[in-house]
Amino acid sequence: MTELKLPSIDYAALAPILIMLGAALVGVLVEAFVPRRRRNAVQLALALVAVLAALTMVILHADDRLLTAGQAIAVDGPTLFLQGSILILAAMALLLIGERSVERGGAFVAHAAVTAESLDDRRQAEGVSGTTEVYPLTTFAIGGMLIFVAANDLLTMFIALEVFSLPLYLLCALARRRRLLSQEAAMKYFMLGAYASAFFLFGVALIYGFTSGIPGRVAGVDFATVHAAVTDSPASPVLLFAGMALLAIGLLFKAAAAPFHVWTPDVYQGAPTPVTGFMAACTKVAAFGALLRVFHVAFSGAAWDFTPVLGAVAVLTMLVGAVLAVTQTDIKRLLAYSSIANAGYLLVGVLAPSKDGLSGTMFYLVAYGFSVLAAFAVVTLVRDADGEATHLSRWAGLGRRSPFFAAIFTFILLAFAGIPLTSGFTSKFAVFAPALDADQAWLVIAGVLTSMVLAFPYLRVVVMMWLSEPGDATPTVTVPGALTSAALVIGVLATLVLGVAPAPLLDLANGAAEFVR
Amino acid sequence: MEETVEYAQASGLLGSVWLLVAIPLVSAAILLLLGRRADRWGHWLGVAAIGAAFVLGLTYFFQLSGLENKSVEQNLWQFISVGDFKVDFGLLFDPLAAVFVLLITGVGFLIHLYAVEYMAHDEGRRRFFAYFNLFVAAMLLLVLGNNYVMLYFGWEGVGLASYLLISFWYGRPSAATAGKKAFLMNRVGDAGLAIGIFVMFATLGTTQYDEVFNGVGSLTATTVLVLGLLLLLGATGKSGQFPLQAWLPDAMEGPTPVSALIHAATMVTAGVYLIARSNPIFSANHTLQLVVVSVGAVTLLMGCLIGAAKDDIKRVLAWSTVSQIGYMFLGVGLGGAAYALAIVHLLAHGFFKANMFLGAGSVMHGMNDQVDIRRFGNLSKYMKVTWLTFMMGWLAIIGMFPFSGFFSKEPIIVAAFEREGWTAWLFGGAALLGAGLTAFYMTRLFVLTFHGPARWTEDIEHPHESPKLMTIPLILLAIGSVAAGFLLATSVPDWLQATGGLGGQEEGHEAVLAHWLITVLSLLVTVLGAGLAWMLFRDGTATEPQPAGVLVTAARRNLYTDAFNEAVFEKPGVFLTRALVYLDNRGIDGLVNGLAAAVGGGSGRLRRLQTGFVRSYATSILTGALLVVAAFLAVQAGWLA
């Protein structure tokens, strides 16, 4: 019997995670004790303060490079960079979630239990203050994401996956309007998410089996052991490859890579738009953070074997995202397919086995996060009496009605299309260049070709906004409240600045691009 | 030992040389930006800007003449910095640049003054002066730059101004076409110059004049030859020399002051400037010099022949410009002391040719814009000032002693005879023959215009002399036509000594003929040519085209050069364009549209897979999972490796 030893825990290094989870718990208490009238303000302030405090801790500990909690958590460059990214993007998403002036009562349902399409439902849609549980749920999700990108063993990673996924399933169901669509989205996301989690867990089990029997090591699923097992294990490599495949599927599901992307359009469309933005920005960062760590740390010895398979997945993802975006008629679904295609481009960066590939991917995640949040912020503003007008035909002539917001949206679409002087160009360059250096020209060629296809749906929206005559059905753009304005300004400015002067962030990403083992 | 070129830093008053470029440029910007609001006074601003530049130029000139090292440069700011490629926005004021500055601003000022009246009834006068100022600014930048990129900048700038002004009356199809023709032919030359600059940077790593000239010695003969030929291509394009001469006569579609300033006195001499400035490159290779001399000789004869067959007063003058620049090319090609002779001829030509163009403008002004010399005659009675001033120009261009052409052209003929062996006879003979032909066709022009019986069209009763604002520049330029040659020929060669490379006196060969004999011969052919023309045309000429022999027909058709261009370049070009358009419409567009349709169709079909049912999504994920696992196992088994 080995003696059970308590692992040493570096609380300071874990502070961002602890702050977010702590704030979520306090948020639950706020729900119970603070009067309904003041709950929204208190919750929003609490969540934002927690995010900023966590961000401060990340910045203070920017030079930490350590393993803690019995090697279950790695606090290193990528962890800190990605945690910082998640926190900044989450702050923007919280601003959108907290917006109450664009729609009376906010984007969220007042009572989630009210039957959809009932009389009560119609009454609550008229402007009863939205439910405030969204804040603790969001805070929990952020905490889970922070663990997810820091997890240094597969079980911790699985727990983190569940911690951030479950609140997201709930958040998806909380739209104030079109509640059936929203609930359907949540249901689909939950069922398919559970399904994918099972794959992940099965993969963990196979890998655990694979690690047993290495001379001088105990079986385990921490990344150091897995890394050693890849070269030294006497067990059948079938275990390794089947396990690796199943793990990858669990992660690729979250990353929305084809063919595990099927949930994305439905969920992006059904979820409340601020939540969609949160998922598109933060979940992407978390999922790719985990993918980077798993494949660059644990399985780096098998890079020759996984690269062609994941490369094929990347190409398929780019193709599916780009081609299907062409015929979309709903702006949220269009952005969903764009997000799928972007997952393909990100995979190109993940597969470049170099420091530049790692830093390029991290840069891409941040740049894309800012742009996509700004895009969904604009979507929340284009409304008519029935809420957001997301059908593309309704956007015709928007440039005449609201040239300012149409111009902003045009700029963001150009960034998505990768036009120079926007972050879309620099970030694509940041992932394609290392891929070329690593002799993966086929991925880059696929990336460039699909980018061309993808430019079409973007430009179609631009053309529709500017060159069509506004019809009676063209909605107006609501004047955004201070919170949405702030998020929009941050997103657009970041898209511009990262396009014009990307060097500081690239340097930061480069400096952070080294995992501890 | 090679002589090294060194430039001093500009200091004191010379530190403001940039004003020369800035003043006309600002004036042009004001005229263009203010639009109609400047219509009432805009032309005077344009004139004043050039006047100010001339006064400044004179000041700098005297300042420079007092200096020890007569080449001062001024680097204003770094213009381009990419890797090893650095270009300064720098100016160089040396004797060569100084004489050009005086020519451009001096003659430019007179022509601006003339244009105030000439364009008085044109609605676009302000626009005209804006382009005119822009031209002067670009031309000054061209001659003041201290590296080839600055020169190229000015080169394209004068080109732009030239196209804008040729097609100034863009409502006329002929003017618009002439602008296009000038543009296209200049592109050929400009491409040559640009590639030349690339070669310079590729082999020497710099485009600064001093560094390039000091580095020429380290280049192989072939590199120098290629570099020189590319620069020469640029020079022939801008200066209307063979084989790129065809645009210059058509450029006369622009207003007459434009023809006088841009297409006679200044811009078209930019090629001569380029070669004179790059003299260390051209002197370094004898083959190169031979090519330049040949271009000059061919062009000067060609210009004479065609000029003799034309009936449009401005076209005759244009072809005479082509021919006279041929003399200048001959001069710069001969090298050594002849560089200075070419510059002297360039300056003298600037005066007398501007004088004659303005005279032609004055004639047209009085004759309802008639340009056909067969329809003139007897104008000496009605336009005394124009007649007398034109006479000065005529005597100057044919090289009659003691007018300026004699002092500037005759030394070039002598220099051509100083070459080695048979080339002396060839080029000397060509230059001498050219002198005779020039005398012939210029006399024809002069006599048909001002003497003999009147052959006017019915609508003209009393041709009137032009107003003072037009005749005063004519008189000043006529004085220049008389006196400039002697003054320039005695002072400029010494003055140019200080310019890098231009001072190098090569040991000349003995002329194959005695100097005095050449002088007598050239005067003789001049008198012969002029006398013959006088005999033939003093009684006027038919007003309708007459049947003519092979040579005259060929000359009337520009020696078939236009036909050649059309057959060799235009027809295949048009065919190629049509073929490409066809390919684009049917092939590429078809491919693109087909691809787009395929993507759209594929998208529509794939969309149906997105059924909305969780069960089918789960199936999709499961299928994907099976595929990924299978792929991993296949990789592991080595099937995919």
Q: Are residue B565 and residue B549 in the same domain, yes or no?
A: no
Please list every residue in chain A whose beta carbon sits closer than 8 Å to the beta carbon of residue B639.
none
User: Is residue A10 very low, low, confident or very high in pLDDT (cuts 50, 70, 90)?
Assistant: confident
Q: Answer for the pair B606, B620: CB distance below 8 angstroms, yes or no.
A: no
| Chain B interface disruption, residue of A323, A450, A453, A460, most B CBs within 10 A | A323
A237 touches chain B (CB under 8 A): yes
Residue in B603, B625, B632 closest to A324 by CB: B603
Contact: A309, B631; criterion CB under 8 Å: yes
* Cα(B38)–Cα(B129) distance, integer angstroms: 11
A174 touches chain B (CB under 8 A): no
What residues of chain B have any CB closer than 8 angstroms to a CB in chain A?
A: 596, 599-600, 602-604, 606-607, 610, 612, 614, 616-618, 620-621, 623-625, 627-629, 631-633, 635-636, 640
Contact: B620, A262; criterion CB under 8 Å: yes
DSSP conformation letters of B528-574: HHHHHHHHHHTT---SS-----HHHHHHHTGGGHHHHHIIIIIHHHH
Q: Are residue B375 and residue B491 in the same domain, yes or no?
A: yes
Contact: B602, A323; criterion CB under 8 Å: yes
pLDDT at A1: 54
HSE, side-chain direction, 13 A CA sphere, residue A157: 32
* pLDDT at residue B616 greater than cutoff 50: yes
* pLDDT at residue B640 greater than cutoff 60: no
Q: Are residue B228 and residue B273 in the same domain, yes or no?
A: yes
Q: Quote the ipTM score.
A: 0.88
Asked, for residue A517, whether it belongs to a domain, the answer is: no
Asked, for residue B410, whether it belongs to a domain, the answer is: yes
Asked, for residue B3, whether it belongs to a domain, the answer is: no
Asked, for residue B382, whether it belongs to a domain, the answer is: yes
A240 touches chain B (CB under 8 A): yes
Q: From its phi and psi, is residue B403 left (phi > 0), alpha (psi between -120 and 50) or beta?
A: beta
Asked, for residue B495, whether it belongs to a domain, the answer is: yes
Between B10 and B199, the more confident residue is B199
Give A374 to chain B, closest Cα distance, Å.
Answer: 27
* Cα(A439)–Cα(A352) distance, integer angstroms: 9
DSSP-based three-state secondary structure for B71: coil
Task: For residue B229, give every residue at least 6 positions away whose Cβ sits within 8 Å of its Cβ, in sequence order, or none.
Answer: B192, B288, B291
pLDDT at B7: 76
* Cα(B14)–Cα(A45) distance, integer angstroms: 67
pLDDT at B588: 78
Asked, for residue A1, whether it belongs to a domain, the answer is: no
Q: Answer for the pair B357, B317: CB distance below 8 angstroms, yes or no.
A: yes
* Cα(B508)–Cα(B335) distance, integer angstroms: 10
| Chain A interface disruption, residue of B608, B613, B616, B617, most A CBs within 10 A | B617
Q: Are residue B546 and residue B580 in the same domain, yes or no?
A: no
Give B78 to chain A, closest Cα distance, Å.
Answer: 22
User: How many other CB atoms are found less than 10 A from the CB of residue A235?
Assistant: 16
* pLDDT at residue B508 greater than cutoff 70: no
pLDDT at A276: 95
Mean pLDDT across the stretch B161-169?
87
* Cα(B103)–Cα(B106) distance, integer angstroms: 5
Q: Are residue B536 and residue B564 in the same domain, yes or no?
A: no
Token readout for A50 is: 């927690």
The residue among A163, A174, A123, A108 whose CA lies nearest residue A139 is A163
Contact: B632, A326; criterion CB under 8 Å: no
Q: What is the pTM of this model?
A: 0.65
Please list every residue in chain A whose beta carbon sits closer than 8 Å to the beta carbon of residue B633.
238, 241-242, 245
Token readout for A191 is: 């069922």
Asked, for residue B2, whether it belongs to a domain, the answer is: no
A416 touches chain B (CB under 8 A): no
Task: For residue B605, give every residue at least 6 positions away whose Cβ sits within 8 Å of its Cβ, in sequence order, or none.
Answer: none
* pLDDT at residue A491 greater than cutoff 90: yes
Q: Are residue B320 and residue B202 in the same domain, yes or no?
A: yes
Count how many domains chain B has: 3
User: How many other CB atoms are found less than 10 A from the CB of residue B503?
Assistant: 17
* pLDDT at residue A296 greater than cutoff 80: yes
User: Is residue A139 very low, low, confident or very high in pLDDT (cuts 50, 70, 90)?
Assistant: very high
Q: Are residue B570 and residue B432 in the same domain, yes or no?
A: no
Size of the A and B interface in Cβ pairs below 8 Å: 92
User: Is residue B511 very low, low, confident or very high in pLDDT (cuts 50, 70, 90)?
Assistant: low
pLDDT tens by residue, B408-458: 888 888 888 888 778 888 888 888 898 989 989 889 888 888 888 877 777
Give how far the C-alpha of residue B307 lies from the chain's centroid of Cα atoms, to the nearest Å.
19
Q: Are residue B505 and residue B634 in the same domain, yes or no?
A: no
Token readout for B144 is: 């003041």
Q: Are residue B489 and residue B595 in the same domain, yes or no?
A: no
Residue corresponding to tokens 């007018």: B403
Between B505 and B282, the more confident residue is B282
Asked, for residue A246, whether it belongs to a domain, the answer is: yes
Give A209 to chain B, closest Cα distance, Å.
Answer: 17
A93-128: b or e for each residue (b if 16 or more CB lie within 10 Å)? Answer: bbbbbbbbebbebbbbbbebebeeeeeebeebbeeb
Task: For residue A511, give every residue at least 6 positions away whose Cβ sits within 8 Å of its Cβ, in sequence order, or none.
Answer: A77
Asked, for residue A250, whether it belongs to a domain, the answer is: yes
Nearest chain A residue (CA) to B610? A262
Nearest chain B residue (CA) to A237? B636
Mean pLDDT across the stretch A221-234?
88
A296-310: b or e for each residue (b if 16 or more CB lie within 10 Å)? Answer: bbbbbebeebbbbbb
Mean pLDDT across the stretch B121-131?
87
Asked, for residue B178, whether it belongs to a domain, the answer is: yes
A29 touches chain B (CB under 8 A): no
Q: Are residue B472 and residue B591 in the same domain, yes or no?
A: no
pLDDT at B167: 85
Which domain does A443 fall in, by range?
11-512
Asked, for residue A3, whether it belongs to a domain, the answer is: no
Token readout for B541 is: 């000429």
Q: Answer for the pair B192, B231: CB distance below 8 angstroms, yes or no.
A: yes
Which amino acid belongs to residue B491?
A: S
B284-291: Cβ within 8 A, 24+ apart: B284/B216, B284/B217, B284/B219, B284/B224, B285/B221, B285/B224, B285/B225, B285/B228, B287/B225, B288/B224, B288/B225, B288/B228, B288/B229, B288/B232, B289/B333, B289/B334, B289/B335, B290/B333, B290/B423, B291/B228, B291/B229, B291/B232, B291/B333
pLDDT tens by residue, B314-363: 888 889 988 998 989 888 888 777 888 888 888 888 888 888 888 888 88
Asked, for residue A233, whether it belongs to a domain, the answer is: yes
pLDDT at B412: 87
Asked, for residue B251, whether it belongs to a domain, the answer is: yes
Q: Answer for the pair A393, A473: CB distance below 8 angstroms, yes or no.
A: yes
Percent of chain B with pLDDT over 70: 96
* Cα(B523)–Cα(B529) distance, integer angstroms: 10
Angle at which helices B221-239 and B313-334 pack, to 10 degrees?
A: 160
Helix/strand/coil (H, E, C) string of A85-121?
HHHHHHHHHHHHHHCCCCCCCCCECCCCCCCCCCHHH
Asked, for residue B1, whether it belongs to a domain, the answer is: no
Mean pLDDT across the stretch A66-76?
88
| Chain B interface disruption, residue of A191, A262, A451, most B CBs within 10 A | A262
Helical (H) or strand (E) element with B74: strand B72-82
Please list every residue in chain A whose beta carbon sits closer than 8 Å to the beta carbon of residue B625.
199, 245-246, 249, 260
Asked, for residue A506, whether it belongs to a domain, the answer is: yes
Give B597 to chain A, closest Cα distance, Å.
Answer: 11
User: Is residue B2 very low, low, confident or very high in pLDDT (cuts 50, 70, 90)?
Assistant: very low
User: How many other CB atoms are found less than 10 A from the CB of residue B638?
Assistant: 8
Q: Are residue B579 and residue B547 in the same domain, yes or no?
A: no
Q: Are residue B589 and residue B448 in the same domain, yes or no?
A: no
| Chain A interface disruption, residue of B606, B614, B640, most A CBs within 10 A | B614
Angle at which helices A11-33 and A134-150 pack, to 10 degrees?
A: 170
Please list every residue in chain A whose beta carbon sits closer than 8 Å to the beta carbon of residue B631.
245, 308-309, 312
* Cα(A355)–Cα(A433) distance, integer angstroms: 12
Lowest mean pLDDT among A40-54, A419-433, B581-595: B581-595
Asked, for residue A475, whether it belongs to a domain, the answer is: yes
Mean pLDDT across the stretch A275-285?
95
Give how far the C-alpha of residue A353 lies from the chain's centroid of Cα atoms, to the nearest Å.
22
Count how many domains chain A has: 1
Between A332 and A215, the more confident residue is A332
Residue corresponding to tokens 């000029």: B307
Token readout for B323 is: 């021919």
Which domain does B571 fall in, by range?
557-608
Residue in B617, B628, B640 closest to A245 by CB: B628
- Give yes or no for a cis peptide into A259 (omega within 30° of 0): yes
pLDDT tens by residue, A474-485: 777 778 888 999
Between B407 and A248, the more confident residue is A248
The residue among A257, A260, A263 whose CA lies nearest residue A168 is A263
Give A112 to chain B, closest Cα distance, Å.
Answer: 22
Nearest chain B residue (CA) to A452? B596
Please list every residue in chain A whose beta carbon sits closer than 8 Å to the beta carbon of residue B606.
320, 323-324
Between A138 and A402, the more confident residue is A138
| Chain A interface disruption, residue of B599, B608, B609, B621, most A CBs within 10 A | B621
* Cα(B226)–Cα(B233) distance, integer angstroms: 11
pLDDT at A287: 95
